[in-house]
Amino acid sequence: MLPKKNRVGKKEVDLIFKQSKFITSPTLTFKFIVNNNTNSPRVSFITPKSVAKLAVTRNLLRRRGYAVLSKYINQFPLGMMGVCVFKKYQDDVFVIENEIKTILSKLN
């Protein structure tokens, strides 16, 4: 699991959805804002009910996303706040990892 200091809170999520840029991939949409401060990057995962009806499966997707993201959190720019929104159910961790790699390549 990603530490709390590297996750976005509810107030920041509202701000991100109002003022963000976005990058899309087949299973994820990454919405983000880059601030001028030098804080560590903060990224959260959102799984809507349209992707998985049961809360258990939504939480499973979020946990898998955080597990993959913990490897790559240092590659995001400093001061970035972002939200990864799942578009469809993805059971394979390797696919989620490849999606995060493509998002990072589009960012840099």
Write the DSSP symbol of residue 77.
P
What is the full DSSP assignment across 12-76? HHHHHHHH-EEEE-SSEEEEEEE-SS-PPPEEEEE--TTT-SSHHHHHHHHHHHHHHHHHHGGGS
Q: How many CB atoms lie within 10 A of CB 60?
A: 15
Domain boundaries, given as residue ranges, for the chain: 4-107
Can you tell me the distance from the alpha carbon of 57 to that of 49, in angstroms, rounded to the nearest whole number? Answer: 10
pLDDT by residue for the chain (108 residues), tens digit each? Answer: 888 888 999 998 999 999 989 999 889 999 999 887 778 899 999 999 999 999 999 999 999 999 999 999 999 988 899 999 999 998 889 999 999 999 999 987
CA angle in degrees (0–180, nearest 5) for 100-16-104: 20
* Model pLDDT, residue 28: 92
Whole-number pLDDT of residue 2: 85
Instruction: Give the span between the Cα atoms of 53 and 40, in whole angstroms.
Output: 33
What phi and psi values does residue 80 have, to the nearest 5 degrees? -85, 135
- The whole-model pTM stands at 0.89
pLDDT at 1 (0 to 100): 80
Pick the CATH number of 4-107 from 3.30.590.20, 3.30.70.260, 3.90.1150.10, 3.30.230.10: 3.30.230.10
